[in-house]
């Protein structure tokens, strides 16, 4: 279990903003599959995550049987030798631009705790990060839980942008297995703010600026 904690802490402390800075310097990690990586990032979503293959998408609504407050729950699960399981769940929803201002540190932490309450038996650490350009806020939590009788490491991330809210819940369940550990780490390190989607907006703002006399 100690190895689980160390691997999870490594993925937790290597926050996406620092990972982006290293992209140009470090070679891409070896893929755990021959299939090309699949990027999940809907058109309205300012964030992204990569999976080794196509994830499963299920349409859910807060009130079952209605079309009220519906969203896509995207999940990816891979089982290794019936001993270890990587399970990742992602949701991205459009939001109003002023929502980001209401998500202070206390609200971010409370939202993470509510997300993880059913699954986490012990929380190790919680971190909060705000983009220096004011484009998004990010909070992350690492904890330990149980799935049935199996131990698990649970990492949750919450991202709030100007146009979208993005949540990630990642579980590493069962016995220590290098292949499962690697996949878990790679998926978590792929979560980031999408610079490609930010550029058109910033360019448009510059275009609309009136020339100074």
The pLDDT tens digits of the residues spanning 25-44 come to 434 444 444 444 899 999 99
The pLDDT tens digits of the residues spanning 72-96 come to 999 999 999 888 999 999 999 999 9
The H-or-E segment that residue 205 falls in is: helix 195-208
User: Could you tell me whether strands 38-40 and 47-51 are parallel, antiparallel, or unpaired per DSSP bridges?
Assistant: antiparallel
* Closest C-alpha to 12, from 114, 128, 99: 128
pLDDT exceeds 70 at position 19: no
The pLDDT tens digits of the residues spanning 160-197 come to 999 999 999 999 999 888 999 999 999 999 999 998 87
Spell out the alpha helix ranges (H) of 26-167. Answer: 99-102, 105-116
The pLDDT tens digits of the residues spanning 112-133 come to 888 888 778 788 888 999 999 9
**Can you list the domains of the chain with their CATH numbers?**
2-194 (3.40.1000.10)
pLDDT exceeds 60 at position 20: no
How much is the pTM? 0.79
Average pLDDT score, the chain: 80
Cα distance between residue 106 and residue 163, in whole Å: 21
Task: Report the pLDDT value the prediction gives residue 7, as an integer from 0 to 100.
Answer: 52
pLDDT band at 5 (very low <50, low <70, confident <90, very high): low
Cα distance between residue 122 and residue 114, in whole Å: 14
């Amino acid at each position: 279990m100690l190895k689980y904690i160390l691997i999870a802490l490594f993925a937790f402390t290597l926050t996406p903003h620092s990972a982006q800075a290293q992209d140009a310097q470090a070679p891409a990690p070896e893929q755990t599959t021959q299939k090309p990586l699949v990027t999940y990032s809907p058109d309205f979503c300012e964030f992204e995550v990569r999976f080794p293959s196509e994830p499963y998408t299920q349409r859910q609504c807060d009130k079952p049987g209605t079309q009220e407050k519906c969203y896509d729950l995207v999940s990816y699960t891979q089982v290794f030798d019936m001993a270890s399981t990587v399970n990742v769940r992602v949701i991205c929803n459009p939001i109003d631009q002023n929502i980001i201002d209401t998500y202070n540190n206390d609200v971010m932490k409370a939202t993470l705790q509510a997300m993880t309450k059913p699954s986490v038996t012990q929380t190790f650490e919680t971190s909060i990060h705000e983009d220096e350009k004011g484009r998004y806020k990010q909070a992350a939590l690492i904890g330990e839980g149980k799935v049935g009788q199996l131990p698990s490491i649970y990492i949750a991330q919450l991202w709030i942008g100007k146009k979208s809210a993005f949540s990630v819940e990642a579980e590493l369940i069962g016995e220590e297995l290098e292949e499962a550990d690697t996949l878990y780490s790679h998926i978590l390190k792929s979560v980031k703010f999408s610079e490609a989607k930010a550029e058109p907006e910033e360019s448009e703002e510059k275009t609309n600026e009136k020339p100074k006399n």
